[in-house]
């Protein structure tokens, strides 16, 4: 691969040419874009990959939160829904969210695929038709069950589940020679994480990469085709660079892909674009233990439970995991006044946290959010949490408190503006019963953004066809997590990879 930066290398002759003859231009280098570039280059095509964020070498990953978030995340890890209620973590550097994600690797649940077949007619997305693509992606990314002892943060979850009579399941991870450091969210400093950059782009022939390049919008020809893409150097409003397009693949990830299509005024006669954007909204509880937990060390997520994920996705369902806890990340989710904030921060080494990821997009009262672009081209996500979802939040807080006390916690705290620490389960349950589950009171976060350019059989129901091509534009495909017509109901990275592999091979592969 050859890498240029639109911010730093603008004087190079590469940027002076008017046409480079690229067969494919791809926007975004995360799971969808990275895999598309890898495959298309293997099929022998000449590929240009454009990435908004910088290329950060493994040796330059600083392990310093204050540097990592502005460098590697959308909006310095402070992206929020338009009402400010939900914080959204999304990657923005070469490798996209796969550079900063926590490596938990799951196949798409069969209940989700069944729902897509029954409700959206997506008959080709079945367990058996996707299985070969999961297998190939698992090999490419070295996805295997984690066979080293869980860190204490995960051990608390395992112990709590066991004592509650539930099974602690083991998570598979996409790593090679992992040193168990626990810095995945700041970019892996050893190169062990098999991100799209590490596992795919580094091995891709015929791919030219331009980083620090923000794809603002594209123009259309009269023949319903994308004609030209306009880019700006990251953070600048001048210094446009225009690229003629033969075939455009949009892989900016949910929110961003819809925003690019909205800024470009792409045809959307049925007003589906940006709608049905999903978050797996996450609520949290914290617990303090007598002994050290040191939740910043060790592989971040290796234990989970789907005991509260009902078989029927129309019913409430949430997955339980633990997050890694680093000081800045913890400080940013605690909605408390200065004394309590200081006290909780000082207890970080003895803190365990649990997270419940709620499945969204299946129930009539959980139809996701809507991406909007304002007059300045800035992107917003409107996302309301309905009463139905709030019931799920309350249930999840109760369950997590129960698991933490079962594991031996001294005290448990719902991460909620008005919550108080409780020393036993019955007080905690009463406390949770009385708390409002309204946005802003309860801390809600997301690291799983999906949907907004949904696949559909008919143009009336979505943005792209079942093969990922746009319903109204001949040379535009969307290959990323924005394709999903609902949330996945589990950590989505591997679902993005497998689905994009299938679509890319069937549409552009040889033979
Ligand atoms: C902190 C964190 C932890 C996570 N942990 C896990 C986990 O453990 N397991 C799991 O399954 N999932 C996890 N995820 C989610 C997972 O990484 C994503 O679902 C997946 O990477 C989505 O792939 P994508 O291709 O849709 O988008 P992304 O991987 O987000 O890539 C999109 C890329 O496109 C670029 N881009 C966007 N718009 C433009 C534009 N206009 N011009 C140029 N470039 C653009 C972005 O900068 C970004 O680099 C995590 C995410 C985060 C943020
Ligand atoms: S645990 Fe450490 S070594 Fe392993 S992938 Fe994460 S950051 Fe890299």
Instruction: Give the pLDDT confidence of 227-248 residue by residue, as tens digits.
Output: 999 999 999 999 999 999 999 9
Nearest CA to ligand 2 atom 8: 188
Q: Is residue 461 part of a domain?
A: yes
For the segment 194-206, the average pLDDT, to the nearest whole number, is: 95
If asked whether residues 323 and 425 sit together in one domain, one would say yes
Number of the ligand closest to the Cα of 212 = 1
Please report the pLDDT score of residue 222 as a whole number. Answer: 82
Confidence of residue 324 (pLDDT cuts 50, 70, 90): very high
Answer whether residue 55 shows pLDDT above 70.
yes
* CA-CA-CA-CA torsion sign (108, 30, 447, 259): negative
For the segment 414-436, the average pLDDT, to the nearest whole number, is: 97
Nearest CA to ligand 2 atom 2: 181
If asked whether residues 159 and 213 sit together in one domain, one would say no
**In degrees rounded to 5, what are phi and psi of residue 126?**
-115, 165
- pLDDT tens-digit series, residues 243-287: 999 999 999 999 999 999 999 999 999 999 999 999 999 999 999
If asked whether residues 214 and 257 sit together in one domain, one would say yes
Please report the pLDDT score of residue 211 as a whole number. Answer: 98
For the segment 433-458, the average pLDDT, to the nearest whole number, is: 96
**In degrees rounded to 5, what are phi and psi of residue 332?**
-75, -20
- Residue ending a domain, among 408, 438, 468, is 438
Answer whether residue 226 shows pLDDT above 90.
yes
The three-class DSSP label of residue 24 is: strand
Answer whether residue 392 shows pLDDT above 80.
yes
Please report the pLDDT score of residue 62 as a whole number. Answer: 83
Decide whether any atom of ligand 1 lies within 6 Å of the 268 Cβ. Answer: no
Cα of 487 to ligand 1 centre, how many Å? 15
Q: Is residue 158 part of a domain?
A: yes
If asked whether residues 160 and 214 sit together in one domain, one would say no
If asked whether residues 330 and 398 sit together in one domain, one would say yes
If asked whether residues 287 and 420 sit together in one domain, one would say yes
Please report the pLDDT score of residue 353 as a whole number. Answer: 98
Q: Is residue 178 part of a domain?
A: no
Residue of 69, 252, 262, 321 to test ligand 1 pocket, by largest number of atoms within 8 Å of CB? 252
If asked whether residues 430 and 494 sit together in one domain, one would say no
- Residue ending a domain, among 403, 438, 473, is 438
Instruction: Report the mean per-residue pLDDT for the chain.
Output: 96
Decide whether any atom of ligand 1 lies within 6 Å of the 252 Cβ. Answer: yes
Identify whether the C-beta of residue 30 lies closer than 8 Å to the C-beta of residue 95.
yes
**In degrees rounded to 5, what are phi and psi of residue 490?**
-160, 170
How large a percentage of the chain has pLDDT more than 70?
A: 100
Number of the ligand closest to the Cα of 102 = 1
Number of the ligand closest to the Cα of 214 = 1
Cα of 94 to ligand 1 centre, how many Å? 10
Q: Is residue 224 part of a domain?
A: yes
Question: Which atom of ligand 2 approaches the CA of 193 most closely?
Answer: 5
Task: Tell me which residue has tokens 């509260």.
Answer: 308
How many CA within 13 A on the CB side of residue 270? Answer: 14
If asked whether residues 206 and 296 sit together in one domain, one would say no
Decide whether any atom of ligand 1 lies within 6 Å of the 102 Cβ. Answer: yes
The three-class DSSP label of residue 173 is: strand
Number of structural domains (the chain) is: 2
Decide whether any atom of ligand 1 lies within 6 Å of the 55 Cβ. Answer: no
Identify whether the C-beta of residue 327 lies closer than 8 Å to the C-beta of residue 351.
no
Edge-to-edge order in the sheet of strand 241-244: 213-220, 226-233, 241-244
If asked whether residues 165 and 209 sit together in one domain, one would say no
Residue ranges around ligand 2 (CB below 6 Å): 103, 175, 178-184, 188, 190, 192-193, 299
User: How many secondary structure helices (H) and strands (E) does the chain include?
Assistant: 13, 25
Number of the ligand closest to the Cα of 106 = 1
Answer whether residue 511 shows pLDDT above 70.
no
Q: Is residue 379 part of a domain?
A: no
Q: Is residue 373 part of a domain?
A: no
Q: What is the CATH number of the domain that holds 164?
A: 3.30.410
Please report the pLDDT score of residue 206 as a whole number. Answer: 86
If asked whether residues 398 and 320 sit together in one domain, one would say yes
Cα of 53 to ligand 2 centre, how many Å? 21
Question: What does 259-288 look like in DSSP terms, one character per residue?
Answer: HHHHHTT---TT--TT-SEE---EEEEEEE
Query: Which domain does 324 fall in, by range?
Result: 148-173+282-359+386-438
Confidence of residue 377 (pLDDT cuts 50, 70, 90): confident
Q: What is the CATH number of the domain that holds 124?
A: 3.50.50.60
Q: Is residue 80 part of a domain?
A: no
Q: Is residue 213 part of a domain?
A: yes
If asked whether residues 333 and 459 sit together in one domain, one would say no
If asked whether residues 248 and 397 sit together in one domain, one would say no
């Amino acid at each position: 691969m050859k890498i240029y930066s639109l911010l730093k290398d603008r004087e190079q002759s590469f940027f002076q040419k008017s046409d480079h003859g690229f067969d494919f231009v791809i926007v975004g280098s995360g799971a969808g874009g990275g895999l598309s570039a890898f495959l298309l280059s293997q099929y022998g095509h000449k590929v240009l990959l454009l990435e908004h964020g910088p290329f950060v070498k493994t040796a330059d990953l600083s392990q310093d939160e204050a540097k990592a978030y502005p460098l590697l995340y959308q909006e310095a890890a402070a992206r929020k829904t338009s009402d400010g209620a939900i914080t959204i973590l999304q990657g923005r550097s070469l490798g996209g969210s796969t550079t900063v994600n926590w490596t938990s690797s799951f196949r798409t649940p069969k209940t989700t695929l069944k729902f897509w077949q029954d409700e959206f007619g997506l008959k080709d997305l079945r367990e058996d038709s996707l299985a070969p693509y999961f297998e190939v992606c698992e090999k490419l990314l070295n996805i295997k069950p984690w066979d080293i002892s869980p860190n204490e943060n995960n051990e608390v979850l395992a112990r709590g589940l066991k004592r509650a009579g539930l099974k602690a399941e083991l998570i598979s991870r996409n790593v090679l020679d992992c040193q168990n450091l626990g810095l995945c969210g700041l970019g892996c400093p050893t190169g062990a994480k098999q991100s799209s950059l590490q596992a795919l782009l580094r091995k891709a022939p015929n791919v030219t990469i331009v980083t620090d390049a923000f794809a603002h919008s594209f123009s259309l020809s009269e023949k319903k085709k994308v004609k030209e893409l306009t880019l700006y150097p990251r953070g600048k409003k001048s210094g446009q660079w225009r690229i003629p397009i033969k075939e455009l693949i949009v892989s900016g990830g949910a929110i961003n892909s819809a925003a690019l299509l909205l800024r470009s005024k792409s045809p959307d006669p049925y007003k589906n674009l940006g709608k049905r954007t999903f978050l797996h909204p996450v609520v949290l509880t914290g617990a303090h233990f007598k002994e050290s937990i040191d939740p910043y060390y060790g592989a971040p997520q290796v234990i989970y439970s789907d005991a509260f994920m009902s078989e029927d996705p129309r019913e409430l369902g949430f997955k339980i995991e633990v997050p890694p806890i680093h000081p800045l990340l913890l400080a940013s989710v605690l909605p408390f006044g200065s004394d309590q904030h200081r006290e909780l921060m000082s207890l970080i080494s003895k803190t365990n946290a649990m997270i419940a990821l709620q499945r969204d997009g299946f129930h009539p009262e959980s139809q996701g959010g809507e991406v909007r672009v304002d007059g300045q081209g800035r992107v917003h996500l409107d996302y309301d949490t309905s009463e139905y979802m709030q019931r799920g939040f309350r249930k999840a807080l109760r369950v997590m408190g129960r698991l933490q006390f079962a594991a031996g916690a001294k005290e448990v705290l719902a991460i909620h503006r008005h919550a108080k620490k409780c020393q036993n389960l019955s007080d905690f349950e009463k406390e949770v019963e009385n708390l409002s589950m309204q946005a802003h009171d309860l801390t809600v976060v997301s690291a799983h953004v999906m949907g907004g350019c949904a696949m559909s059989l008919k143009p009336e129901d979505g943005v792209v066809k079942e093969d990922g091509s746009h319903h109204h534009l001949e040379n535009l495909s969307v290959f990323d997590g924005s394709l999903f017509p609902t949330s996945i109901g589990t950590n989505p990275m591997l679902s993005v990879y497998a689905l994009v592999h299938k679509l890319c091979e069937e549409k552009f592969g040889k033979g």
